[in-house]
Amino acid sequence: MIYDHRMSAGFVTALAGTVSWPRVLTKTAFGAAPDHDASAGRDVGLKPVSEPKACTWEDVRVLRWITAGESHGRALVAVVDGMVAGVDVTSTDIADQLARRRLGYGRGARMTFERDAVTVLSGVRHGSTLGGPIAIEIGNTEWPKWETVMAADPVDPAQLQEVARNAPLTRPRPGHADYAGMLKYGFDDARPVLERASARETAARVAAATVARQFLKQALGVDVLSHVISIGPSAPYDGPPPAAEDLPAIDASPVRAFGKAAEQAMIAEIEAAKKDGDTLGGVVEVVASGLPVGLGSFTSGDNRLDSQLAAAVMGIQAIKGVEIGDGFETARRRGSRAHDEMYPGSDGVVRSTNRAGGLEGGMTNGQPLRVRAAMKPISTVPRALATVDLATGDEAVAIHQRSDVCAVPAAGVVAEAMVALVLARAALEKFGGDSLTETRRNIEAYQRTVADRQSPAARARAGRG
C-alpha cells in the first residue's frame, strides 16, 4: 500500500480493515521504515486492527473546510485547510461577500444592526495565502447582550433565572431542527439546537468561500454568481442566465433578480406574505463560467462533481431540492430534445444549448455550470404553528423569534459559496500544486492538451501536430 499525505489515519485503518490486513501502520510510522522488535516478533509502530474506523471520502480531500460557533455566541469561525500559497485575499474581500449575504427584500430586523466583524487569524500574510490552514473569525457585535446566556463557562443558576433571554424554549417549531435535535441530544431546551442550526452559521461558509472564489478567479478566471429565479408562487425567470458583468445589477435588485418584471412580482409576493404574518421560500440559481473541461470524474459516485455539488448545496439550511442544468424539466423531454449536440468549431467543439448545465458524466464539459436550489419557507412563522410543549406534553403554539419573511436572496449568496468551495476543491484535486504559480502552470499545460485534442487544425497551426 502506498501512503498519500492526504490520507488520514482513520482512512488508512478502514482500508486495511477492508482488505483484512492483520495490522496497519500508525500515522507516525509513515515516511520511515519501522523499527523491528525481534523479541516480540513484530514491528514497532504497527498495531493490530480491532475494528475498522468509520471514514468518509472527505478524509482524503485536498481542500477541506469547517465552521464553528453559535448564532448568538461570541463569534463564528471558519477554517480552510489545503489552499495553495500565493492567493490574494484580504479581510475586505471577505467583508464584501458577507455584506452581500445580508442583502434582500424581506429580511428581518437583525439585518439592520447585524455587523460582521472580520478578523483573519491565520494562513494569510500581507494579503496573500501562506499555504497553511486559514482561520477566519466573524465577531458577534451583539455579544454583550448574550454573554451570560451563551457563556462557555458555568453560570450561577440564580443569575440565569434573572435573564429573560434564558427562558427555556420547549415548544419546537415545525420545520426546524428544534424537535429532532432536542430528542436526539437529550436537551430540555431548544436553545442549544437552534443556536447551531441557525442560518447565521452560513456567514462562516461565505467567509471560507471567499478564499475559494479568489483562487478560482486567479487560477482559472472562473466567476461564480447567483440570482433569484422565483419567490413563492411568482412566475419563474425564464431568460438567459446572467454573466459576470451582470452581478452588480443583480446585487442592486432588492430581491437579487435578473430582470425587472420578475423583481416586481417577487416583491409583491413578499409584501403579501408579510401582511398575512407568513413566510416565503423560492428558487435560486448559481452560474459558474470559465470552467475547464474535466473537473470531477466518472470513476465513482463520490468523485462525480454533480454529487458533490448537490450534497454541498443541500447542506445549506432550508434547502429542500437541487437540480443541475434543466434538471427535472429534462426528465419530461425525449432524448432528442434533452441533450446538447456538439459541432466542430474553429477552435474546438461548440454547442448551441446547455441543457446539461455544464456537467456530463460527473465532469465539467467546458460550458457554464448551472445549479438551482429550492429553499423552503422559513420555519419561524410570525403567526406561529401548532406544536407540542415538550415540557408538559400539551398542545401549544411554536416559539417565535426574530426572523425574516423571506431569505431567498441571501440563500443565493450562500449557494454561491458552497459551489465555489466544491469547484476550488475539484480544481486542486485535478491540478495540484503548492503555490498559485505552480497550479497555474499545471492548468496551462492541461488546457493546451485539451485544446489540441479538440482541434487538430488548431494543433497544426500552433506547430504541435
pLDDT in tens, 174-227: 999 999 999 999 999 999 999 999 999 999 999 999 999 999 999 999 999 999
Q: Is 308 marked as a binding-site residue?
A: no
- pLDDT tens for 334-382 read 999 999 999 998 888 999 999 999 999 999 999 999 999 999 999 989 8
C-alpha closest to that of 418 among 195, 147, 224, 176 = 224
Strands (E), 250-389: 282-289, 293-296, 319-324, 342-345, 348-351, 359-360, 363-365, 369-375, 386-388
Q: Is 107 annotated as a binding residue?
A: yes
Q: Is 8 annotated as a binding residue?
A: no
7 pLDDT exceeds 70? no
Q: pLDDT band at residue 23, thresholds of 50, 70 and 90?
A: very low
Is 353 annotated in a binding site? The answer is no
Residue 402 marked as a ligand binder:
yes
Q: What percent of the chain has pLDDT over 70?
A: 83
214 is in an annotated binding site: no
Higher local confidence (pLDDT), 96 or 42:
96
Query: Of 231, 251, 228, nearest to 239 (Cα)?
Result: 228
Q: Is the pLDDT of residue 1 over 50?
A: no
- Tens of pLDDT, residue by residue over 403-415, are 789 999 999 999 9
| Residue 103: closest CA among 404, 446, 417, 306 | 404
Q: Is residue 16 very low, low, confident or very high in pLDDT (cuts 50, 70, 90)?
A: very low
171 is in an annotated binding site: no
Strands 124-125 and 128-129: antiparallel
Per-residue confidence (pLDDT) for residue 382, from 0 to 100: 86
Query: In the chain, what are the domains?
Result: 9-59 (no CATH), 62-431 (3.60.150.10)
Q: Is 83 exposed, middle or buried (0-12, 13-18, 19+ CB in 10 A)?
A: buried
Q: Known binder of ligand: residue 361? A: yes
Q: According to the annotation, is 379 in a ligand binding site? A: yes
Q: What is the pLDDT of residue 384?
A: 81
Q: Where are the alpha helices (DSSP H) in 46-148?
A: 91-101, 110-113, 143-146
Q: Find out whether 455 is annotated in a ligand binding site.
A: no
318 is in an annotated binding site: yes
Assess whether pLDDT exceeds 70 at residue 460: no
Report DSSP letters for 398-458, one per residue.
----S--SB-HHHHHHHHHHHHHHHHHHHHHHHH--SBHHHHHHHHHHHHHHHHHHH-HHH
Q: Is 453 annotated as a binding residue?
A: no
The model carries a pTM of 0.86
- The 10s digit of each residue's pLDDT in 272-291 is 999 999 999 999 999 999 99
Q: 378 among the known binding-site residues? A: yes
